[in-house]
Amino acid sequence: MSEKVKVLLCVAVCMTIVIIAVVMFSTSKDTKDYGDTQDYTFVHEQEYNQEEYSIYAHDYDYPTYAGGEDMNRNRRITASQAKDLMTRYPDAIILDVRSEYEFATGHVPGAILLPSFDIEYTVNSIVSDNYALILVYCQSGNRSRSATSLLVSMGYVNVYDFGGISSWPYGVEY
């Protein structure tokens, strides 16, 4: 075997080991019970670690992902966690991704209507800061999950899905 082939083989083996280590490290971070009692602090631009392709959102002491297949991992929060965030951060943007008719039948106080089919075209006029805290809900949790995924893929960092208004116990406004 020539010297060049040996060097290339060694480099390939080393790269494979690094990739396996990165994958193992990134998938082992989800094993903690997060509960409702964590302190909330949000990601700022300088906390983005491009080498690991992840964003460390300290609000629940777990990583949320800025890209790849793990992009939506741990972005789902409970209604009580969402209510706590709304109380602690009154500037939080609450997005209702249902239809105009559904919105008129009752919505979370302070919510902004942004139907899921309009997000790509309209969100920039509503949310100009990619690091703003965005809380998303719909009727049952399906559209909000998709909307959260889309917002993250568009570069929004602090986006959380709190499911559907059908499980919102804190009252609505009309």
Question: Is 14 labeled as catalytic in the residue annotation?
Answer: no
- Strand 93-96, strand 112-113: pairing: parallel
- Looking up tokens 């992902």, which residue turns up? 65
> What are the 10-residue block averages of pLDDT along the chain, 174 residues in total?
71 67 48 41 46 37 40 77 94 96 96 95 93 96 94 94 95 94
The catalytic residue among 111, 133, 136, 138 is: 138
Beta pairing partners, 112 = 95
> What span, in angstroms and rounded, lies between the C-alpha atoms of 81 and 86?
9
Between CA 99 and CA 105 the distance in angstroms is 10
pTM of this prediction?
0.63
- Could you tell me which residues are beta bridge partners of residue 96? 113, 137
